[in-house]
Amino acid sequence: MDDAAYVVAFAKAAVAAGAVALRIESVAYLRAVRPAVAVPIVGIVKRDLDDSPVRITPFLGDVDALAEAGADIIAFDATDRTRPASVEALAQAVRGHGKLSMADCSTIEDARRAHALGIDYLGSTLSGYTGGPEPTEPDLALVAAMRELTPNVIAEGRIRVPEQARAAAAAGAHAVVVGSAITRTEHATAWFDEAVREGFACAPGASILALDIGGTKIAVAQVEGGTIRREAIVATRPADGPDAWIAAAQSAIADWSLSFSGIGIAATGVLSSEGWYALNPETLPIPNNYPLVERVTEIFGAPAIAVNDAQAAAWGEFIRGGHGGKNLVFLTISTGIGGGIVVNGQLLEGLSGSFGLLRGPANGGGPLEGEVSGRWIAAEAARAGHDCDAAGVFKRASAGVAWAEGIVAQSAARVATLCRDIQMMLDPDHIVIGGGIGLASGFLDRVRENLAALDPRLMPNIVPAKLGAKAGLVGVADVAARRLADRKTA
């Protein structure tokens, strides 16, 4: 598309569609376009310099050439970086030709300086291009901040779809520049290509192998488009170590003739860029920083990703639980308490959602899960002289046995406090509760009863989990499909 004939054709098409001005790069293209359209033209020259990162109209001579070629407005880099000509000198040169000036800014500080120099238009052009990773969205916050300085704000950079152009205008832009989405057809085509590939990975036919490695069992499933096609479960033998756990998963599916595009691993503990490690080695004694993703990739021969099991389950409930909304907190209350948080449709990872490790209310500041979970319920029963597990305590509580009711009530009250605190911190649309204790008969009702006196506006919306033990498999398969598709197109 880098050809004067195409540039002229794009220019005419833009004007025919309603564009009130054009931004044209290079003196040659400006000369070609000038006689073809009647609208004002913002002219720039782009250069790659050895001794300066400034690319847009760096030299005073560029200003002269653009003015001569018929630009009405001349734009130049207005960032505070090493440069051949100062912003002030460029602005003066533009003024000297009787033209209007546009400052291509990267920050509000650039804009302030440019405005103080009397530059006519402030553009958000260079936001995101002066270091660090390139953002994907337009910088509308900068547009809005510049609008506080002057109404002559031009929104520019990464405006790809009409909705973003509308939002830029609504944020206070006087004009909106759309570049690549219109003229770099090779880029626009690549965006669609990427989106389609991402879709393929989540499509009904795409198979993901999902592993859910917990303290007592390992579930392996073939997941297609969010549906579990087959599943196998093997016991985790904690003492054997991770190589053996992976080998057990592999032998569990030895007779599946299966091809899959990727692997998602949901696992207890923390999955960090350094590897896999246990927060609570009692659940599973994971050696520190075990390279789980690398080993699984090697052994199964397909690309893998890994996510904490409760976080994977949170994602599974978010995408398939039918709860609605964009924000959700998931709690699984069983032998311990796991959790996951989805904010604005994004899953939080790392340590987030380690609700079981919050400080409990009892003396000593021990972890909350040690004062709520199934293990605690059974231990409380034993302390009271009754030999039964958590399920037995629940059975007796439902039958109205006072000591059992007391234990369940205490656990539910602590979960209620946790839900209240979560609501205050994150204000999620739903708090989804799963796990053997969380879903035990009457437990959620008791949690809600404890919150009955709360101001209704602060009341958490507590709902039961829908996917049960499958949530982690479904969730991690989806995370894998998305990430692996991203990787393919990166």
Ligand X SMILES: CC(=O)N[C@H](C=O)[C@@H](O)[C@H](O)[C@H](O)COP(=O)(O)O
Residues lying near ligand X in the complex (CB under 6 A) are found at 44, 55-56, 125-126, 129, 156-159, 177-181
* Closest CB to ligand X among residues 123, 214: 123
Specify the residue, 44 or 481, whose C-beta has the smaller distance to ligand X.
44
Report the nearest approach of ligand X to the CB of residue 10 (Å).
12
Cβ closest to ligand X, residue 42 vs residue 333: 42
* Cα atoms found within 13 Å of the Cα of residue 208, Cβ hemisphere only: 35
User: What is the 3-state composition of the chain as percent helix, strand, coil, each rounded to the nearest 5?
Assistant: 45, 20, 35
Name the minimum Å distance from CB 128 to ligand X. 8
CB of 57 to ligand X, least distance (A): 9
Q: Which is nearer to ligand X, 156 or 309 (CB)?
A: 156
By C-beta, is 184 or 326 nearer to ligand X? 184
For the chain, the C-alpha Rg in angstroms (whole number) is 30
Residue 347 near residue 387, CB atoms below 8 Å: no
SS3 237: coil
What is the b/e burial string over 74-94, where b = at least 16 CB atoms within 10 angstroms of the residue's CB?
bbbbbbeeebbbebeebbbbb
Helix (H, G, I), strand (E, B) or coil at 242: helix
Nearest distance, CB of residue 204 and ligand X, angstroms = 34
Task: Count other C-beta atoms under 10 Å from residue 237's C-beta.
Answer: 11
- Please identify, using beta-carbon distances, which residue of 139 and 224 lies nearer to ligand X: 139
- Closer CB to ligand X, residue 44 or residue 108? 44
Query: At closest approach, how far in Å is the CB of 159 from ligand X?
Result: 5
Specify the residue, 44 or 267, whose C-beta has the smaller distance to ligand X. Answer: 44
Pair 46, 53: CB distance under 8 Å: no
What is the smallest separation between the CB atom of 140 and ligand X, expressed in angstroms?
13
Residues 6+ apart with CB under 8 A from 379: none
Shortest Å distance, C-beta 161 to ligand X: 11
In angstroms, rounded to a whole number, what is the distance separating the alpha carbons of residues 486 and 377? 44
- The one-letter code for the residue type at 302 is A
Distance between CA atoms of residues 490 and 481, nearest Å: 14
> Dihedrals φ, ψ of 368, to 5°?
-55, -40
**How far apart are CB 168 and ligand X at their closest, in Å?**
11
Neighbours of 228 (CB within 10 A): 16
Using CB positions, name the residue nearest to ligand X: 179
Give the shortest CB-125-to-ligand X separation in angstroms: 5
**Euclidean distance between CA atoms 107 and 73, whole angstroms:** 21
SS3 for 134-159, per residue?
CCCCCCHHHHHHHHCCCCCEEEECCC
Hey, how many other C-beta atoms are within 10 angstroms of the C-beta on 58? Answer: 22
**Residue 45 or residue 378: which is nearer to ligand X going by CB?**
45
Residue closer to ligand X by CB (options 139, 478) is 139
Q: Pairing between strand 100-104 and 73-77?
A: parallel
Please report how close the Cβ of residue 126 comes to ligand X at its closest, in angstroms.
Answer: 6
- Round to whole Å and give the CA distance between 218 and 296: 14
